[in-house]
């Protein structure tokens, strides 16, 4: 999809469960990894673990991490974010509810969203203030 829309060059890496189509056209999904260390995440993918590995193995030092999510599996990386980071829970979805209930466990800035424009406006604001 990223290649079709011309957005592939905007992303350095995509982390997702692998998939393939069989001869009959049926889509098969496979686990990203098998994990048993995180009780907040499903066995097929701990997003916080993936985020930690990405940051540790990257040549880039991230001053701000912006994490966008909507589901329950997005809560684990949310509670691992720093005060300098931003979490964007989709309004009225499971992550938004988890963040609201456990606000004392989330130190990142929280900005709920309905559309991509909501996210874009906050990111513009944050990154413009960093440049100043």
Q: What is the pLDDT of residues 64-91, one digit of tens each?
A: 999 999 999 999 999 999 999 999 999 9
Give the other-Cβ count within 10 Å of 124's Cβ: 10
* pTM, entire model: 0.86
Tally of structural domains, the chain = 1
Instruction: Tell me whether residue 10 is in a domain.
Output: no
Residue 117 lies in a domain: yes
Q: Do the domain assignments include residue 26?
A: yes
pLDDT digits (tens, 9 = 90+) for 20-70: 999 999 999 999 999 999 999 999 999 999 999 999 999 999 989 999 999
Residues 88-116 have a mean pLDDT of 97
In a domain, 42, yes or no: yes
Q: Is 8 within the bounds of a domain?
A: no
Q: What are phi and psi of 39, to 5 degrees?
A: -80, -10
7 within a domain of the structure (yes/no): no
> Distance between CA 16 and CA 48 in Å, rounded?
13
Residue 5 lies in a domain: no
Structural domain for 106, as ranges: 15-131
Query: CB atoms < 10 A from the CB of 32, how many?
Result: 17
| pLDDT value at 131 more than 90 | no
């Amino acid at each position: 999809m990223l290649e079709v829309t011309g957005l592939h060059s905007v992303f350095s890496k995509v982390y997702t469960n692998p998939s393939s189509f069989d001869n009959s056209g049926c889509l098969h999904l496979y686990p990203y990894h098998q994990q048993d260390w995180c009780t907040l995440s499903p066995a097929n993918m701990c997003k916080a673990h993936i985020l930690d590995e990405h940051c540790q193995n990257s040549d880039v030092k991230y001053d701000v991490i912006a994490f966008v999510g909507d589901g329950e599996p997005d809560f684990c990386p949310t509670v691992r974010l720093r005060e300098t980071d931003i979490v964007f829970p989709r309004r009225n979805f499971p992550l938004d509810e988890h963040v609201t209930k456990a606000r004392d466990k989330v130190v990142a800035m929280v900005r709920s969203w309905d559309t991509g424009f909501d996210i874009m406006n906050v990111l513009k604001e944050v990154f413009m203030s960093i440049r100043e």
